[in-house]
Structure 1
Amino acid sequence: MSDPTIRGQAWDIIESVLDDATPQSEWAREQLRSQMESHPGNPERALLEHLIATRSITGEQSDASGLPEANLPSPDLPTPDEDYGTTVLFTRRSRRRIEAILGDRMLLTAFQPIHELSSRNVIGVEALTRFVSDDGASADHWFNEAASVGLGPDLEFAALQAALVAAEQLPENVYVALNLSPATCLDPRLRAFVEQSQLAVDRIVIELTERLAEDQYGPVVAALAPLRMRGLRVAVDGAGAGFGSMSQVTHLSPDIIKLDRNLIAGIDQGAGQKTLGAAMVEFARQIGADLVAEGIETQDELTAIMELGMTTGQGYLLGRPSVQPLDWAAWRTPAEQEASVSGSASPAT
């Protein structure tokens, strides 16, 4: 099992350097062995001194006649006691971790149901990525780590592919909301992924998970336009959380507006939240968008939003995310469930 501590990460990197038997790395291996002998039992210090000596952090060429003394860190670098390792020293390990996930497809898809509130029928799901790892890190951690080493879109596409394959087991009346960043929406691979999916394009919703910069609106709208013409829908997440979220709504003209959990939490007791919620209902009606209330956790919240005219929602009160196909099958409408039971009970001919 991998050790997630800084010391464990240092050992992982040291071992990978020493395991590299290519002639080009011989000098680096000797340098690292020397530093380990100078700092026995302190792999973090040995690794830092090795990196200083080889100038791998600053990108400068090594000068054999002027290497820093083993006991004196370079004046423009943090000392080994500072939390520098997780952001710079272990970039190589982070990249290896993400590449291992991409190579082995060590991820699953959980679907959280989105309900029509009056009937409680499931009309859609949000696809949420779950990582098969031994360190318990959240999905956000993995995606942030991937972005930090330039593999953000690659990991999102791996999650997208897993979700599209899993979605083939969902009831046919259910749409699938896929969380994507603006960078992935601009990636030319997205169109091929959607078009090659077994899922009908009009069942796919692209849910933007990040705020767009001002200069991204035009390119993102243009990139998604061909797919939207074929029925793909766009959702904006976190609406009602501030000016930035509403700016996205006005620029992107989304098909679905997802209200932020911070607006829904305690809305049954907050007069200001109710006023804003009612305004969002009318705003969505005016622009022809569906409104989804996110994060419904209490019966009082559910009652309040329905009284405001909200018709669609998701949250732990209505259904938790699940990776189990048996749970997904239960999201059929009563008519579909009856038809399924009748079909399975038909006598053989």
Structure 2
Amino acid sequence: MARDPLFFSAHYGSEPPAEPLPGSHYGDDDSGIRRQASEIIRAVLADQAPGEARARDQLREHVAAHPGQPEKALAQHLMALRSASRIEAVLNGRMLLTAFQPIFDLSTGAVIGVEAFTRFVSDGPDAAGWFAEAAEERLGSELEFAALECALTAAQSLPAHLYVALKLSPDTCLDPLLPEVLQASALAPDRMVLQLTDPLTAEQAAALVPALLPLRRRGVRLAVDHVGSYFDSIRHTRLLGPDIIKLDRNLIAGIDTDTLRHAFGEAMTVLAEEIGAALIAEGIETRDELGAVTGLGMTAGQGYFLGRPSTRPQDWAGWNLPAGEFQALIKHDGAARS
């Protein structure tokens, strides 16, 4: 369940009673979840704040649609509230933009994909700060979905051969709303890459395998980030069997001179080959770093040396140029961008 009863008690200022909703019957197996859902619903409906009248009416409709099943009524209600919040943020606030950074095939110089980055049209913290604040206010999921929908919409203006890496937290990848959002997009499933950006717990790693299987069967690919940045990351990577492994800037910075980073990069190349995953070097910022990663056998990369993130469709259109023209661009202009 997406919300905890303490949240509703604090928000609506009432203690949930213990009695079940009319029509709810508790058995040994389902009594806990149904009783909790029933208590939360009663707490919400007991509040008489004028500003919450619409939410109460919507909840009554969901309860009527699922007689005797308060857990389903509550889940539907929470999904509706989340959807309304996302629509309001995107349509009314208009504070989100998507920047795409090109991902290059390092053997040919062709752009093969992009990574989506969220930009905020407002004064305040950077993107990471906005997402951290949203999480503190229990709005992290809503903001992630708003950013995802913004990226999926913007991706329609990209050259048709490019895949799109969509950065998502493990919790969002486990959210039952995710398949619905992806299916509603005009972007083909085989152009979608779900990029896990946060370290995983053991429980999340185990849950993600079955949760993402239907999407992966439809052609959606999985990428993992932060490999090697925490103790169990290699084990989790093997369990997930991703299509793509991404090595972030912390591992690529100085890989041309740092023997430990170089050795780790070599180990990751072997791991990627073992599990059949593509390996992408992120954050390439110098010609020497580019030389080091290609020397290790990494065949794809991104970074300021190769191309900066851009919110401009005219820049995106340039990523459809023939590979030879990109190789010339990298050769002559790379030093100026480093």
Alignment equivalent of 1:124, drawn from 113, 129, 141: 113
- Determine if the alignment matches structure 1 residue 107 to structure 2 residue 96: yes
Distance in 1 (alpha carbons) for counterparts of 2:201 and 2:297:
32
Match of 1:185 among 170, 173, 189: 173
| AA at the equivalent of 1:248 | H
Shift, 1:265, TM fit:
0.8
Structure 1 position 142 matched with structure 2 position 130: yes
Instruction: Select 1:160's aligned residue among 137, 148, 154.
Output: 148
Query: How many pairs does the alignment contain?
Result: 244
Q: Distance in 2 between matches of 1:241 and 1:203?
A: 27
Matches within 5 A, 1:195-206: 195-206=183-194
Distance in 1 of aligned mates of 2:167 and 2:198: 9
Residue 185 (structure 1) shift:
0.9
Q: Distance in 1 between matches of 2:233 and 2:310?
A: 28
Partner of 1:217: 205
User: Cα offset for 1:301?
Assistant: 0.5
Name the counterpart of 1:334.
322
- How far off its partner does 1:181 sit? 0.7
Contact 2:200 2:233 in 1 (8 A): no
User: What residue is the counterpart of 2:276 in the other structure?
Assistant: 288
What 5-or-longer segments of structure 2 have no aligned partner?
1-48, 52-84, 327-338
Q: CA deviation at 1:101?
A: 6.1
Q: Which whole-Å deviations, capped at 9, do the CAs of 1:280-332 have from their partners, x for residues lacking one?
A: 11110111000000110000010111111111001100000000000000001
TM-score (norm 2): 0.68
Cα distance in 1 for partners of 2:230, 2:205 equals 18
CA contact (8 A) 2:101 2:114 kept: yes
Q: Report deviation, 1:187.
A: 1.2
**Partner in structure 1 of residue 139 of structure 2:** 151
Q: How does 1:23-102 map to 2 (within 5 A)?
A: none
Q: Which residue of 2 aligns with 1:262?
A: 250
Amino acid at match of 1:122: V
Asked whether 1:237 is paired with 2:225, we answer yes
**Can you list the C-alpha shifts for 1:234-270, whole angstroms capped at 9, x where unaligned?**
1001223342332331221111000121221111112
SS of the equivalent of 2:164 reads strand
Code of the residue aligned with 1:223 in structure 2: it is A
Q: Secondary structure at the match of 2:226?
A: strand
Contact in 1 for aligned 2:199/2:226 (Cα 8 Å)? no
1:12-31 Cα deviation digits (max 9, x unpaired): xxxxxxxxxx999xxxxxxx
TM-score of the pair, normalised by structure 1: 0.66
The AA in structure 1 aligned to 2:132 is N
In the alignment, what sits opposite 2:161? 173
| Alpha-carbon distance change, 245 to 333 in structure 1, aligned in 2, over 3 angstroms | farther
**Deviations 1:2-59, CA, capped at 9 Å, x for gaps:** xxxxxxxxxxxxxxxxxxxx999xxxxxxxxxxxxxxxxxxxxxxxxxxxxxxxxxxx
**Which of residues 275, 278, 287 is equivalent to 1:299?**
287
Q: Which has more radius of gyration?
A: 1
- 1:126 is paired with a residue whose SS is strand
* 1:86 alignment counterpart: none
Instruction: Give me the CA root mean square deviation.
Output: 2.4
Using a 3 Å threshold, how does the CA distance of structure 1 residues 269 and 196 change in structure 2: closer, same or farther? same
1:331 match: secondary structure: helix
Query: In 2, distance between residues paired with 1:330 and 1:120?
Result: 13
Could you tell me the percent identity over the aligned residues? 59
Contact persistence 1:240–1:260 (CA under 8 A) = no
Deviation at 1:178, TM superposition (A): 0.4
Counterpart in 2 of 1:309?
Answer: 297
Structure 1 residue ranges, 4+ long, deviating more than 3 angstroms after superposition: 98-103
Q: Which secondary structure state, in structure 2, belongs to the residue aligned with residue 109 of structure 1?
A: strand
> Is the CA contact 1:124–1:176 (under 8 Å) kept in the aligned structure 2?
yes
- Shift, 1:272, TM fit: 2.1
Counterpart amino acid of 1:116? D
SS of the equivalent of 1:254 reads: coil
Query: Is contact 1:113–1:126 with CA below 8 Å preserved after alignment?
Result: yes
Contact 1:241 1:260 in 2 (8 A): no
Q: 1:105 Cα deviation (Å)?
A: 3.3
Separation in structure 2 between the aligned mates of residue 149 and residue 102 of structure 1, nearest angstrom = 20
How much has 1:99 moved relative to structure 2? 6.8
Match of 1:72 in 2: none
**Distance change in 2, residues 1:154/1:284 (3 Å):** same
1:281–1:308 contact (8 Å) kept in structure 2? yes
Residues 284 and 301, structure 2, Cα contact 8 Å, conserved in 1: yes
Cα separation, partners in 2 of 1:221 and 1:99, compared to 1, 3 Å: same
